[in-house]
Amino acid sequence: MVDSHRTGIAYLCRWYRLRADGAWPGRVKTGSAAPFALAGVFPSDNDTFAVNLVLDDEGPPPVV
């Protein structure tokens, strides 16, 4: 049995590998936030890293 429930968010993630001649910058801002979104970069083994994004499925708040 599988239960499915709306959570109100959308989550996206993609993995990348640095080029052979690429170098990971010494200081990288690994996350950012807005009222309707979160983003992150996560270094991993073997010159790979993940980029993820979490979004509110209703989109940004209205501009007043």
Cα first-last separation, the chain: 45
- In a domain, residue 24? The reply is no
State how many domains the chain has: 1
For tokens 């209205």, what's the residue? 62
Residue 50 lies in domain? 9-19+30-56
Q: How far apart, in whole angstroms, are the C-alpha atoms of residue 26 and residue 16? A: 18
**For residue 40, what pLDDT is reported?**
92
Sign of the torsion angle spanned by Cα atoms 59, 63, 31, 25: positive
Tell me if 40 sits within 8 A of 31, measured CB to CB: yes
Could you please report the per-residue DSSP string of 4-19? ----SEEEEEEEEE--
Per residue in 1-55, pLDDT (tens digit) is 777 788 888 889 999 998 888 777 666 678 888 888 899 988 888 888 899 999 8
pTM (predicted TM-score): 0.66
- In a domain, residue 47? The reply is yes
